């Protein structure tokens, strides 16, 4: 049984450490906030200028001036702070954020990431993704193992326009987890979803990896 979106988010949450400052991308990465271990202090950063993102507000308490980078209404915590976009990216680019969890269209075996455009088809923009992968200490990708057409997304080389080169440390998919100790190392298969075999993972992956 492949992992669900929730399972993948929970797996990514296991990479968090007490005291981490973390940026979560849009989609499955946002769900990681639901699986922070009890008693662990993790501070969430939002590109639009907030540290200490709280949960979604109760009905009637939503505030148009209080949103996350996905434009969703959020709430404030006692430790929250606000700052400008330039300050926000000084934190990100300057290496002050411990970990980022992002979605991806493609990841390559050399750690390249593509997640911002499909030429001629989808024009949305990179938002803060290029800044995050360039500056955050550890970058974890959470994505489906294959595209809607069944094409592998963990590949020998990215074919889509890149978000960054050699920037990914861990890949969590619905089938498996790949990790590497440093950005000079190759990826290694370290976990497989229950009921999925190593051969099935291999068949749906064109990236070269160990294990």
Partner 1 sequence: MSSSKVYPDAASALRGIIRDGMTLCCGGFGLCGVPDKLIAALHDSGVRDLTVVSNNAGTDGEGLGLLLKSRQIRKMIASYVGENKEFERQYLAGELELEFNPQGTMAERVRAGGAGIYAFFTKVGAGTLVAEGKEARVVDGETYILETGIVADVSLVKAWKGDTEGNLIYRKTARNFNPNMATAGRITVAEVEELVEPGVLDPDGIHTPGIYVQRIIDGSPYDKKIEKRTLRKRQEGAHAVVA
Nearest-angstrom CA–CA distance, 31 and 35:
8
How many angstroms separate the first and last alpha carbons of the chain? 21
- Two structure tokens written together for 173: 């998919």
* Rg from Cα positions in the chain: 17
Residue 168 in the binding site for partner 1 (CB under 8 A)? no
By the rule CB under 8 A, 134 interacts with partner 1: yes
Q: Tell the smallest beta-carbon distance from residue 95 to partner 1 (Å).
A: 11
71 binds partner 1, rule: CB under 8 A: yes
Q: In the range 82-101, which residues lie near partner 1 by CB under 8 A?
A: 82-86, 88-90, 92-93
Q: Of the candidates 5, 12, 6, which has an alpha carbon nearest to the alpha carbon of residue 168?
A: 12
CB 71 within 8 A of CB 50: no
Of 17 and 73, nearer to partner 1 (C-beta) is: 73
Min dist. Cβ of residue 187 to partner 1 (A): 19
Q: Which DSSP state fits 136?
A: -
Q: Catalytic site residue 144?
A: no
210 φ/ψ angles, rounded to the nearest 5 degrees: -90, 155
Q: Residue 10's closest CA among 155, 191, 204?
A: 191
Check residue 8 for interaction with partner 1 (CB under 8 A). no
For partner 1, which is the closer residue by CB, 32 or 189?
A: 32
Nearer to partner 1, 87 or 151 (CB): 87
Burial readout 4-20 (b: 16 or more C-beta within 10 A, e: otherwise): eeebbbbbbbebbeeeb
C-alpha 209: how far from its chain's center?
Answer: 20
Map the footprint of partner 1 across residues 99-128, applying CB under 8 A: 120, 123-128
> Taking CB under 8 A as the rule, does residue 4 contact partner 1?
no
Of 10, 17, 43, 72, which lies in the binding site for partner 1, with binding defined by CB under 8 A?
72
Q: Catalytic one among 15, 47, 106, 109?
A: 47
Told to check if 43 binds partner 1 by CB under 8 A, we report no
Shortest approach of partner 1 to residue 36 CB, angstroms?
6
The position carrying tokens 């889509």 is 160
Task: List residues binding partner 1 (CB under 8 A).
Answer: 27, 30-31, 33-34, 36, 46-50, 55-59, 62-68, 70-74, 76, 82-86, 88-90, 92-93, 120, 123-131, 134-135, 161-165
Residues labelled as active-site residues: 47
């Amino acid at each position: 049984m492949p992992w669900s979106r929730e399972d993948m988010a929970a797996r990514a949450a296991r990479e968090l450490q007490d005291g981490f400052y973390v940026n979560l991308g849009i989609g499955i990465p946002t769900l990681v906030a639901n699986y922070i271990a009890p008693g662990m202090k993790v501070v969430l950063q939002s590109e639009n200028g907030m540290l200490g993102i709280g949960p979604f507000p109760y009905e009637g308490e939503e505030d148009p001036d209080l949103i996350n980078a996905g434009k969703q209404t959020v709430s404030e915590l006692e430790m929250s702070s606000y700052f400008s976009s330039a300050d926000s990216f000084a934190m990100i680019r300057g290496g002050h954020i411990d970990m980022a969890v992002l979605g991806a269209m493609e990841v390559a075996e050399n750690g390249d990431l593509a997640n911002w455009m499909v030429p001629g088809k989808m024009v949305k923009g990179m938002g803060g993704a290029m800044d995050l992968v360039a500056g955050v200490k550890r970058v974890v990708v959470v994505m489906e193992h294959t595209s809607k057409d069944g094409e592998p997304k963990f590949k020998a080389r990215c074919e889509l326009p890149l978000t960054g080169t050699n920037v990914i440390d861990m890949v969590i998919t619905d089938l498996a987890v790949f990790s590497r100790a440093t950005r000079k190392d190759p990826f290694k298969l370290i976990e497989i979803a229950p009921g999925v075999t190593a051969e099935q993972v291999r068949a749906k992956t064109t990236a070269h990896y160990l294990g």
